[in-house]
Structure 1
Amino acid sequence: MPAKKRFKTDYPGVYFIEGQAVASGKPERIFYVMYRRDGRLIEEKVGRQFQDNMTAAKAARIRAERIEGRSPSNNARREAEEAAKQAEAGRWTLAKLWAEYSSHKTPGAALTTDRSRFEKYLKPAFGEKEPAEVLTLDLDRLRSRLLKQGKSPQTVKHVLALFKRLVRFGVKKGLCDSPAPRRQTISMPRVDNETTEDLDADELARLVQAIKDEPNIQAANFMRLAMFTGMRRGELFKLEWRDIDFERGFIHIRHPKGGKSQKIPLNDAARAVLASHPHVADSPYVFPGQGGKQRVTIQVASNRIKARAGLPADFRPLHGLRHLFASTLASSGEVDMLTLQKLLTHKSPNMTKRYSHLRDDALKQASEVAGNLLGNVGTPGDSTGRKVVSLGKER
């Protein structure tokens, strides 16, 4: 194809060729400039008459800027843009770290929850930043903002802990540098983990009746099993029929919150619930969700049962049943803390300590009974007729 004719302008080193406007197809001038830099002759396009509103005078000003080095040449600009793209591709922002981090995780409720925390809280604040660009002040502002929005200290702690995990993952995989401690320190909000939820006898009776009146048998038995075993909501969501060992009397809990898989005893009350519970065809789950897949929520039914029972507003239907199970055992005085820790599948005994005061109260009451019985023996007011057992002669 022959070269197009060049037309000179009144400005040195500026010329144009005739072309067609992209939008209208009408004739349009396309301006070029020529100049030398570092001994090399450079010839490059600077713009179109209509599309770029280019004129010969404007082209001359651009030529002067490029000769003086105040404006980069087209090639230099393209090289800079390419370098910027490559630099951006090499930047491990928090959003890219999350994508990589999540790809290494097993799909499930925990990952779904983390994804929600990232999308809601971390991505809007720090998604386009590299970990080292996030300062202590940024994290403090995020913590303060979430608390002011009414998020619980526990929720805020989970969000900041996820940020910490993402940074640690990036450093471990060699994707980013570890932020300098003097520039980035994470202050966790104080969380009151000593709260235990309990029901008095009347409230418990109303709850049992409300569960009995619940028309959704899946929801009713879900609540019953939570009450009789103390299992976590997520553990019940994941529970499969193969996890129930009726013969040996155990329930296998796969991947519990505490870490490795464990098993807990299948007591008579839980056995009765499971023995009568209907199986859903083509689903391995005891309490399946839609389409026989793993359930992800039971909130509507559990809140309905809570409302029917008239329970306190701050009682959490499922987590509260776990606390109810634990506090009932602890206050009986018949279960030691180590056994309770194993039944609750707590990884650390520190989590179980919140119930120790209930066991202490039960032991104190038992001690008082013994003290009253033995302390009154042989006194003038003692009419029990109990035998006094000789402890032997004093030595």
Structure 2
Amino acid sequence: MPAKQRFKTDYPGVYFIEGHAVASGKPERIFYVMYRRDGKLIEEKAGRQYQDAMTPAKAARIRSERIEGKALSNQGRREAEDAARAAEAGRWTLAKLWDEYASHKTLGPALTTDRSRFEKYLKPVFGNLEPTEVLTLDLDRLRLRLLKQGKSAQTAKHVLALFKRLIRFGVAKGLCNAPDPRKQTISMPRVDNETTEDLDADELVRLVQAIEAEPNIQAANFMRLAMFTGMRRGELFKLEWRDVDFDRGFLHIREPKGGKSQKIPLNDAARAVLASHPHVEDSPFVFPGQGGKQRVTIQVASNRIKARAGLPAEFRPLHGLRHLFASTLASSGKVDMLTLQKLLTHKSPNMTKRYSHLRDDALKQASEVAGNLLGNAGKPGDASDRKVVSLGKDR
């Protein structure tokens, strides 16, 4: 292809060739400058007439800056950009760490939730930074911003915990350096985690009736099993028929939240639910989703049951049933906290202590019964008094 004709301008070292505008296709001048640097002749494009609003005078000023070394030439700029890209490729930013972290995780609701938190809260602020470039002040600002936006303290805590997990992952895999604790500390917001969700006797009756009226047997039995076992939603999603041990009377929970696989007793109420529950052909799951695959949600049906029962707005249909299970046992006064912790598969007793006041209330009530019976002993007209006296005579 023959070289295009060069046209001189009134400015030394500035010329143009005739081309066509990229957008409109109409004729357009493309300006170039020529100068020497360290004895080497450099020739570079200064810009287009319309696209860059370039004129011979502007091109002349660019040429003067190049000669004085005030600006990089196009060739120098390309070399700098190449060097920057090479350096960027070796940087393990938070965005790159997330991609690597996610590739090591199993697809499921937990990863989906973490991905949403990263994309919404961490990536816009820290995505292009390496862990060591994030300072304590940056994290404090993020926490305060989330709270000012109306996000709960629990949400802010989850976001910061994800940030911490990404850094731990990167350090463990040798991808990045651990931040200097003098420059980066993570202050978690205080979360009031003592709230329990419970139902009174009337609400419980309405819930049972609403479940009975639910035409979707999968949803109805899902709710029943959550209520009778206290299992988490995710644990029920993952529950397979091989995990149901009718002979020994146990349910195996694989990879529960925050711990290793374990088992819980299969009580009579839960056994009855599972014994009559339909098996979906070619699916290993007790409560399968579409195509027999693992279920990922049951929110529509559970909210429908909640609405039919007229339950309080703050009551969460599934996690609330877990609280109901725990509260019922604790308030019975017949189950100690260690046993309740094992039934709930809590990793730490601190998670179970929210129910301790219910157990204490039940014990206080039992103690009051004894106090009333024994305190009235010996008083006229008290039946227990006669029993105590008769016992004394037997001796």
Same structural fold, with TM-score higher than 0.5 when normalized by the shorter chain? yes
> Could you tell me how far 1:49 is from its partner in structure 2?
6.3
Partner in structure 1 of residue 34 of structure 2: 33
1:43 match: secondary structure: strand
The one-letter amino acid of 2:227's match is M
Partner in structure 2 of residue 42 of structure 1: 41
Asked whether the equivalents of residues 30 and 45 of structure 2 are also in contact (C-alpha less than 8 Å), the reply is: no
Asked whether the equivalents of residues 197 and 315 of structure 1 are also in contact (C-alpha less than 8 Å), the reply is: yes
1:138 aligns with 2:145: no
Partner in structure 1 of residue 320 of structure 2: 320
1:176 aligns with 2:170: no
2:279 match: secondary structure: coil
Judged with a 3 Å threshold, the aligned counterparts in structure 2 of structure 1 residues 286 and 8 are, in CA distance, closer, same or farther, namely same
Asked whether the equivalents of residues 31 and 49 of structure 1 are also in contact (C-alpha less than 8 Å), the reply is: no
Judged with a 3 Å threshold, the aligned counterparts in structure 2 of structure 1 residues 98 and 392 are, in CA distance, closer, same or farther, namely farther
1:92 aligns with 2:89: no
2:128 match: secondary structure: coil
1:125 aligns with 2:131: no
Asked whether the equivalents of residues 239 and 287 of structure 1 are also in contact (C-alpha less than 8 Å), the reply is: yes
Judged with a 3 Å threshold, the aligned counterparts in structure 2 of structure 1 residues 135 and 209 are, in CA distance, closer, same or farther, namely same
Distance 2:97 2:355 in 1: 39
Partner in structure 2 of residue 248 of structure 1: 248
Distance 1:288 1:253 in 2: 16
Task: State how many pairs are aligned.
Answer: 390
% same residue: 79
Provide TM-score, normalisation by structure 2. 0.88
Asked whether the equivalents of residues 31 and 54 of structure 1 are also in contact (C-alpha less than 8 Å), the reply is: no
Partner in structure 1 of residue 75 of structure 2: 75
2:32 match: secondary structure: strand
Aligned runs of 1:309-348 on 2, under 5 Å? 309-348=309-348
1:290 aligns with 2:290: yes
Distance 2:121 2:71 in 1: 41
Structural RMSD (CA): 2.8
Distance 1:311 1:210 in 2: 10
Aligned runs of 1:92-241 on 2, under 5 Å? 92-241=92-241
Judged with a 3 Å threshold, the aligned counterparts in structure 2 of structure 1 residues 230 and 65 are, in CA distance, closer, same or farther, namely same
Asked whether the equivalents of residues 207 and 305 of structure 1 are also in contact (C-alpha less than 8 Å), the reply is: yes
The one-letter amino acid of 2:78's match is R
Distance 2:2 2:166 in 1: 59
> Could you tell me how far 1:277 is from its partner in structure 2?
0.8
1:362 aligns with 2:362: yes
> Could you tell me how far 1:264 is from its partner in structure 2?
0.5
Distance 2:74 2:206 in 1: 79
Asked whether the equivalents of residues 14 and 34 of structure 1 are also in contact (C-alpha less than 8 Å), the reply is: no
* Alpha-carbon displacement from aligned partner over 1:341-380 (angstroms, at most 9, x marks no partner): 1110000111111112222222222233333334444444
Unaligned runs of 5+ in 1: none
* Alpha-carbon displacement from aligned partner over 1:119-157 (angstroms, at most 9, x marks no partner): 222222322333333333333333233223332221221
Q: Which range moves more in the overlay, 158-167 or 373-382?
A: 373-382
Judged with a 3 Å threshold, the aligned counterparts in structure 2 of structure 1 residues 303 and 13 are, in CA distance, closer, same or farther, namely closer
Distance 1:376 1:306 in 2: 46
1:361 match: secondary structure: helix
2:43 match: secondary structure: strand
Judged with a 3 Å threshold, the aligned counterparts in structure 2 of structure 1 residues 261 and 68 are, in CA distance, closer, same or farther, namely same
1:317 match: secondary structure: coil
Provide TM-score, normalisation by structure 1. 0.88
Q: Which range moves more in the overlay, 83-92 or 128-137?
A: 128-137
> Could you tell me how far 1:60 is from its partner in structure 2?
4.1
Distance 1:372 1:29 in 2: 103
* Alpha-carbon displacement from aligned partner over 1:152-204 (angstroms, at most 9, x marks no partner): 22122111111121122223333333333344332222111111111111111
The one-letter amino acid of 1:286's match is V
Judged with a 3 Å threshold, the aligned counterparts in structure 2 of structure 1 residues 361 and 59 are, in CA distance, closer, same or farther, namely closer
Distance 1:269 1:109 in 2: 28
Partner in structure 1 of residue 265 of structure 2: 265
The one-letter amino acid of 1:329's match is L
Distance 1:328 1:258 in 2: 24
Asked whether the equivalents of residues 14 and 33 of structure 1 are also in contact (C-alpha less than 8 Å), the reply is: yes
* Alpha-carbon displacement from aligned partner over 1:39-85 (angstroms, at most 9, x marks no partner): x3223233466466656554444333222222223332211111121
Partner in structure 1 of residue 277 of structure 2: 277
Judged with a 3 Å threshold, the aligned counterparts in structure 2 of structure 1 residues 337 and 22 are, in CA distance, closer, same or farther, namely same
Distance 1:315 1:227 in 2: 14
Judged with a 3 Å threshold, the aligned counterparts in structure 2 of structure 1 residues 381 and 184 are, in CA distance, closer, same or farther, namely same
> Could you tell me how far 1:29 is from its partner in structure 2?
6.5
Judged with a 3 Å threshold, the aligned counterparts in structure 2 of structure 1 residues 25 and 380 are, in CA distance, closer, same or farther, namely closer
1:372 aligns with 2:376: no
